[in-house]
């Protein structure tokens, strides 16, 4: 079995919760003492860290948002003097000021071990040659996996981003066995190999660890088939630590969240209220071991759900489902929370990953109307009225069963939906216009 830290990953829940409570109390104390933002937050909610006598008490504290981090840019949320910080990274935000995060020496040690755990779960061992194609820089992806792989004893090939042909040459000559990249870059590599006449099955590559962006099941199977590897999904975010928050094991049935280091909660993206186990909503994370940059009830913006049943691999820690989009993309249609990615997933399943579509929301009187426009393409029977009708009805039924509200599905002529970069679906909410 591929488990690095069975003590923490397979702990009976009662013991795990006791450990979480003790670590939470220590984190709250540290944050209260050293971070003005948190001290004020405690005062506002009329709570002192000593009040936290049960994990259920966490829900009494307000949520922390990315906006709070921006207001405290760059070092306002640090809980240690800069002298104790040995590394800074920042989030990949492009437009506004990024979020700066810091690590003490011990934070780096803990982070390294968490990523080593994720990589072990994915099947990486000391016998692997790990090619890391993330950007070495402020982004947490490359350094996180780099240190994690070294801790396992694997050999790291720190190629960094770009230069795809050289990446492929290295993969061939250095006999890379594990690839670490974004799912998008794995497809770029597969395409370039095909162009160059390199047969991926002739390489030594056997596993791929993907993350930093969604890895849908369709994308996973495309990568697995084209590169001839086993692909796992890995989740993390800079504000919380980087990669090493959650990752899949060989069963690929949800990403195991390292609950000895983070407490996950699911909240309603609108009200911020905690939702019962099993619900879909926004993931909120609290760090339990971080010294330099503790995060208390941080809103990740990622929509997912949690399962607490033990996995076949033996781990007892919670598993998070693939993210279903960002809370800022959420639409409320007839009072129901709908994520465009849910509709996208239905269309990918019935039409294919290349389906071009548009989600149009409008209001007639007090009634919300939802339409999904799909561009006609090969295999969508544009000219055969009877088959077309049956197809549209089938898609309507599927969408209703997934999102819980009805949508009118229409076919539109090819190339009539405006494209935008990298994504195939777009949302037009006429209620806002």
Q: How many CB atoms lie within 10 A of CB 309?
A: 8
Stretch near ligand DLL under the rule CB under 6 A, chosen from 32-40, 210-218, 394-402, 419-427: 210-218
Residue 15 in contact with ligand DLL, rule: CB under 6 A: no
- Closest CB to ligand DLL among 152 and 395? 152
Minimum CB distance to ligand DLL smaller for 131 or for 409: 131
Nearer to ligand DLL, 151 or 374 (CB): 151
Residue 55: CB atoms within 10 Å: 15
Between 75 and 382, whose beta carbon lies closer to ligand DLL? 75
User: Does residue 325 sit in helix, strand or coil?
Assistant: coil
Least distance (Å) between residue 235 CB and ligand DLL: 4
Side-chain-side CA neighbours of 262 within 13 Å: the count stands at 30
Tell me the two tokens of residue 402: 């997934």
Can you tell me the distance from the alpha carbon of 184 to that of 428, in angstroms, rounded to the nearest whole number?
Answer: 26
Residues with Cβ < 8 Å from 277, sequence gap 6 or more? 306, 308
**Among 131, 234, 305, 316, which residue interacts with ligand DLL (rule: CB under 6 A)?**
234
DSSP state of 367: E
Q: How far is the CB of 163 from ligand DLL (least distance, A)?
A: 19
Residue 167 near residue 133, CB atoms below 8 Å: yes
Contact call for residue 212 and ligand DLL (CB under 6 A):
yes
Report in angstroms how near the CB of residue 388 gets to ligand DLL at its nearest. Answer: 34
Least CB distance to ligand DLL at residue 237 (A): 4
- The whole-angstrom separation of Cα 153 and Cα 138 is 24
Binding of ligand DLL by 213 (CB under 6 A): yes
Given candidates 148, 214, 264, 294, which one binds ligand DLL under the rule CB under 6 A? 214
Counts of helices then strands in the chain (DSSP H, E)? 11, 20
Which residue, among 400, 411, 345, has the nearest Cα to 372 in the 3D structure?
411
- How far apart, in Å, are the Cα atoms of 35 and each of 58, 75, 165, 290? 18, 10, 47, 13
Q: How far is the CB of 90 from ligand DLL (least distance, A)?
A: 8
| HSE-CB of 243 using CA atoms within 13 angstroms | 31
DSSP-derived secondary structure for 372-427: EEEE--TTS-TT-HHHHHHHHHHHHHHHHHHHSS--EEEEE-TT-SPPBTTBSEEE
Using CB under 6 A as the criterion, what x/- string covers residues 61-100 for binding ligand DLL? ------------------------------xx--------
Question: Which span sits near ligand DLL by CB under 6 A: 151-159, 222-230, 235-243, 256-264?
Answer: 235-243
Q: Which stretch binds ligand DLL (CB under 6 A): 168-176, 295-303, 338-346, 417-425?
A: 295-303
Question: Prior bond to 74 cis, omega within 30?
Answer: yes
By beta carbon distance, the residue nearest ligand DLL is 211
Q: Which of 287, 289, 323, 337 binds ligand DLL (CB under 6 A)?
A: 323
Cβ at position 341, least distance to ligand DLL in Å:
10
Residue with tokens 């935008």: 420
Question: In angstroms, rounded to a whole number, what is the distance separating the alpha carbons of residues 198 and 202?
Answer: 8
Shorter beta-carbon distance to ligand DLL: residue 135 or 155: 135
Binding to ligand DLL in span 120-149, by CB under 6 A: 140-141
For 29, the 3-state DSSP assignment is helix
Residue 120, H or E segment: helix 105-121
Out of 203, 237, 292, 311, the only residue in the binding site for ligand DLL (CB under 6 A) is 237
9 near ligand DLL (CB under 6 A): no
Distance, in Å, from the CA atom of 320 to the CA atom of 78, rounded to the nearest integer, reads 28
Nearer to ligand DLL, 49 or 281 (CB): 281
Interaction of residue 281 with ligand DLL, rule CB under 6 A: no
Nearer to ligand DLL, 104 or 182 (CB): 182
Nearest distance in Å: CB 401, ligand DLL? 24
Q: Which stretch binds ligand DLL (CB under 6 A): 22-30, 213-221, 256-264, 417-425?
A: 213-221
Q: Which CB atom, from 120 or from 300, has the smaller least distance to ligand DLL?
A: 300
DSSP 33-45: HH-HHHHHHHHHT
> At closest approach, how far in Å is the CB of 214 from ligand DLL?
4
- Catalog residues that contact ligand DLL under the rule CB under 6 A: 91-92, 140-141, 211-215, 233-238, 242-243, 300-302, 323
């Amino acid at each position: 079995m591929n488990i690095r830290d069975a003590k923490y990953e397979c702990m009976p829940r009662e013991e795990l919760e006791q450990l979480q409570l003790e670590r939470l109390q220590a984190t709250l104390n540290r944050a209260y003492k050293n971070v003005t933002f948190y001290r004020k937050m405690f005062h506002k909610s009329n709570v002192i860290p000593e009040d936290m006598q049960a994990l259920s008490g966490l829900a009494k504290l307000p949520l922390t948002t990315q906006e709070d981090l921006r207001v405290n840019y760059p070092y306002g949320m640090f809980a240690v003097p800069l002298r104790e910080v040995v590394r800074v990274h920042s989030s990949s935000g492009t437009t506004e000021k990024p979020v700066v995060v810091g690590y003490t020496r011990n934070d780096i040690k803990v982070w390294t071990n968490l990523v080593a755990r994720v990589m072990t779960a994915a099947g990486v061992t000391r016998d692997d040659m790990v090619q890391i194609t993330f950007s070495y820089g402020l982004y947490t992806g490359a350094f996180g996996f780099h240190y994690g792989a070294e801790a396992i004893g694997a050999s790291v090939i720190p190629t960094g981003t770009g230069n795809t042909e050289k990446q492929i040459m290295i993969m061939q000559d250095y006999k890379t066995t594990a690839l670490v990249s974004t799912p998008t870059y794995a497809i770029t590599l597969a395409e370039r190999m095909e162009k160059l006449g390199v047969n991926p099955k002739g390489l030594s590559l056997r596993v791929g660890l993907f993350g930093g962006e969604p890895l849908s099941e369709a994308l996973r199977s495309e990568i697995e088939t084209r590169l001839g590897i086993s692909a796992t999904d890995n989740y993390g975010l800079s504000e919380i630590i980087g990669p090493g928050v959650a990752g899949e094991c060989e069963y690929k049935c949800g990403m195991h969240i390292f609950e000895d280091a983070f407490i996950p909660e699911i909240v309603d993206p609108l009200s911020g209220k905690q939702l019962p186990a099993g619900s879909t909503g926004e993931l909120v994370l609290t760090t339990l071991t971080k010294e330099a940059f503790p995060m208390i009830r941080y809103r990740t913006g990622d929509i997912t759900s949690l399962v607490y049943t033990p996995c076949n691999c033996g781990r007892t820690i919670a598993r998070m489902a693939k993210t279903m989009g960002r809370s800022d993309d959420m639409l409320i249609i007839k009072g129901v929370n709908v994520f465009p990615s849910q509709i996208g997933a239905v269309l990918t399943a019935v039409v294919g990953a290349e389906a071009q579509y548009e989600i149009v929301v409008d209001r007639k009187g007090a009634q919300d109307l939802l339409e999904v426009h799909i561009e006609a393409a090969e295999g969508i029977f544009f000219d055969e009225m009877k088959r077309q009708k049956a197809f549209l009805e089938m898609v309507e039924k599927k969408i209703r069963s997934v999102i819980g509200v009805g949508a009118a599905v229409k076919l539109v002529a090819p190339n009539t939906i405006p494209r935008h970069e990298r994504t195939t679906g777009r949302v037009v909410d006429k209620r806002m216009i």
